[in-house]
Amino acid sequence: MGEVEFAEVAAGEYRVSIDLGDGRTSTVLVGDGVRHRLGAVVPERARRAAVVTQPTIGVTVDSGLEQRTFELGDGEEHKHLGTVGSLCESFAEWGLTRADCVVGVGGGLVTDVAGFAAAVYHRGLDVVHVATTLLAQIDAAVGGKTGVNLPQGKNLVGAYWQPRAVLCDTETLRTLPEREWRCGLGELAKYHWLGGGRLDDLPLAARVARCVQIKAEVVAQDEREAGRRALLNYGHTLGHALEIAGGHGLRHGEAVAVGLVFAAELAAALGRVDADVVAEHRRVVDGYGLPTTVPPGLDGDALVELMGRDKKVLEGGLTFVLDGPDGLEVVTDVDPSLVRRTLEVVS
């Protein structure tokens, strides 16, 4: 089991170091301008850096190495195996070797795809992420989960591949479009039930660093989601189903926000929590200005089927992370008819 060190290394700048065991470490730097530290965190042995980004990111980096930029398309529709294959082919055409590195610059889509490509190209290249969105900084870029979608579900194909370092430059968050900001707020709300408390009371960099610290502590204990790490999926079972169903305009964080309220209502229906806990969920989610109801027009039976395909589903049937007397827990074999009725409560 690994360990986590957390430090404020300068005014408004934080470092979270994750000891993953077997000599592996991952370092996260949080603060304004930390993207300019990229040259200090890329592997010393690397001659080249393949910078993976999107044309709309608008953030340039200097690895201090020979580097070439590879752009992904914008939008979730580009998060698939074909994109990873094309990216790896481009790496090979350039002559990237196992001694070189990949640098992902962008949001969660970029870090997921770039990290997966780094994991499988030459059976593993070092990867460093420069996270430029709230979602990437507090969740997607940290912890080593990479993956792409299948038509049947989100992130069903991927690998655990820890980044050497993650640079969470909070300067980039100040120019985020409103919808990108909201995309991360659902994840921020989730940390309320993972020990974060009232994160809004903290300055921006401290807020991001606290979320990183919480996630790092979970990952250090359960890197490959054999137990506690599944709790980081709180609100995501319905959230991912809503994203796959599509046609309603919800972004990831907004879908997770609805999933948090749904999970509270489901826990109440199972007798795990009382009405006050449900009210707290609604208060926190509403306080972030996020939706609390399933968009109209979606088929409840179809959503239940999609939730049944969630990647954390075990042999026990429908599986959810739910609140309870002892905090969040993974609950298996939930009655589909109860899930369907709970969907009606949040519709």
- State the catalytic residues: 123, 145, 187, 215, 225, 229, 233, 236, 240, 252
Closest CA to 29 of 131, 137, 168, 147: 168
Cα 60–Cα 176–Cα 63 angle in degrees, nearest 5: 20
- Distance CA(28)–CA(113), nearest Å, equals 19
Own/partner contacts of 77-81, CB < 8 Å, gap of 24 or more, are 78/109, 78/113, 79/109, 79/112, 79/113, 79/148, 79/149, 80/148, 80/149, 80/150, 81/148, 81/150, 81/157
Which burial class, exposed, middle or buried, applies to 159 when counting CB atoms under 10 A from its CB (0-12, 13-18, 19+)?
middle
CB 133 within 8 A of CB 173: yes
In DSSP terms, 24 is beta-bridged to: 21
Measured CA to CA, the distance from residue 68 to residue 38 in angstroms comes to 15
Joined together, the tokens standing for residue 326 give 């002892």
